[in-house]
Structure 1
Amino acid sequence: MKQALCRFIYYKVLGWKARVSIPDFDKCIFCAAPHTTNWDLFVGKLFISAIGRESGFMMKKEWFFFPLGILFRWMGGIPVHRDKHTSLVDQIICQAKDSKKFHLAITPEGTRSPNPNWKKGFYYIALGAGIPIVLVGIDYEKKCICAEKYLYASGDIDKDMREIKLYFKPFKGKHPERFDLGEY
């Protein structure tokens, strides 16, 4: 029922398309980019449900105020305290290892503003848990979300981040001027 409703909204009402050729992993990190608008969350959640998969997501704690906090937690949101140094990456690695199924979406830019210095927590989670990173490109120009590449973190973060950033190069966010691949 949920999948049918999400499919209807995603494909018919909003007119988006999906290109998915990656396996349905029991555990993975969805690395989603470009992230240039708050609408990415809702389009992304519709996409993931429309293709019959589930995923939690990370979002700055400031968005978890009443009543939005209830909604975001229900949707699978995990509040991130960006001003504190916590062991969140280690906690998520343990959660991934201890779970039969684990799917978490993370935007590597960590903001909707241009940020050439991508956050690397998603990479270290995947490396520590030994799970794949599924690259999910959001293209507002083509109204299509693509999940056609995945990789396992090799430990050579420079090489892997170059490959990840090159994958996202052709995608156009809702506000393309807010997407910055930085050095790659």
Structure 2
Amino acid sequence: MIDVPKQLPRTSGTFSRTFGTVMLRMLGWRITGEFPQYGKFVAAVAPHTSNWDFFVAISVKLSLGIEIKFLGKHSIFFGPIGWLLKKMGGIAVERSQAHGMVAQITDVFNRSDALILGIAPEGTRKKTAKWKTGFLHIAKSANVPVVPMALDYRNKQFVIMPTQHIQGDIEQELQRFCKLFDKEMAKYPQQVSGD
């Protein structure tokens, strides 16, 4: 088991950690790499080509006992469903304007002592021309690093890669990020987005 720094936001459920660990073993996956010594960062998880990605990622989250937030359209956060989504780590955002969303999430980071925001940079499991840049805009605006995390189906490893700091032009940073992930890692390499 890898070391989880004390700065990271944690969950307290022993049952959920056991459940996540059992799920990873059943799926035949293991976790490699190291978490940064930061309490706030964007976790960019790729390549995303299958619904199985969610089950692997949620098993990793549960087994490590870490709290990871994710973004959801504000209109789905209502009643019992909204309560459940928030309990699972959902953050409701108004997505009518892209940079409005960046400002909303920057504010959430600024108000938090510790926060991991999990994002799939492709935005979908279907093949698209290029990755979305929102995760980089959020990191730059909130002045937090990005930790790339790879779903490596070849080796059945969830790989935590070295921390990246976003300083330059967003389009250039996006090209640099895409090169960190080998498309052959994906469950369906032919569906990997980008060039």
- Residues 73/177 of structure 1: CA separation in 2 closer, same or farther (3 Å cut): farther
Aligned counterparts, 1:161-176, within 5 A: 161-176=174-189
Distance 2:118 2:62 in 1: 13
Q: Which moved more, 1:60-69 or 1:130-139?
A: 60-69
- Per the TM alignment, residue 5 of structure 1 is displaced from its structure 2 partner at its CA by 2.4
Q: Which runs of 4+ in 1 moved over 6 A?
A: 61-67
Gaps of 5+ in 1: none
Q: How many residues align?
A: 180
Q: Is the 8 A contact 2:183 2:192 kept in 1?
A: no
Distance 2:80 2:135 in 1: 28
- The superposition leaves residues 63-111 of structure 1 with CA deviations (integer Å, 9 ceiling, x where unpaired) of 77987655433211235665x2261110000110110011111111111
Distance 2:180 2:194 in 1: 10
- Residues 66/33 of structure 1: CA separation in 2 closer, same or farther (3 Å cut): farther
Q: Which moved more, 1:148-157 or 1:89-98?
A: 148-157
Matching residue of 1:88: 101
Q: Is the 8 A contact 1:127 1:155 kept in 2?
A: no
Q: Which amino acid aligns with 2:179?
A: L
- Per the TM alignment, residue 179 of structure 1 is displaced from its structure 2 partner at its CA by 0.6
User: Partner of 1:151: helix, strand, or coil?
Assistant: coil
TM-score (normalised: structure 1): 0.84
Distance 2:75 2:187 in 1: 23
Q: Which moved more, 1:135-144 or 1:16-25?
A: 16-25
Matching residue of 2:124: 111
Q: Is the 8 A contact 2:36 2:163 kept in 1?
A: no
Matching residue of 2:8: none
- Per the TM alignment, residue 173 of structure 1 is displaced from its structure 2 partner at its CA by 2.0
Matching residue of 2:153: 140
Matching residue of 2:42: 29
Matching residue of 1:78: 91
Counting aligned pairs with the same residue, the percent is: 32
Distance 1:147 1:15 in 2: 17
Gaps of 5+ in 2: 1-13
- The superposition leaves residues 36-70 of structure 1 with CA deviations (integer Å, 9 ceiling, x where unpaired) of 12232221121123234221122567877987655
Distance 2:78 2:30 in 1: 32
Aligned CA-pair RMSD: 2.4
Matching residue of 1:156: 169
Matching residue of 2:22: 8
- Residues 158/85 of structure 1: CA separation in 2 closer, same or farther (3 Å cut): closer
Distance 2:50 2:41 in 1: 24
User: Partner of 1:167: helix, strand, or coil?
Assistant: coil
Matching residue of 2:54: 41
Q: Which amino acid aligns with 2:147?
A: V
Matching residue of 1:50: 63
Q: Which amino acid aligns with 2:149?
A: V
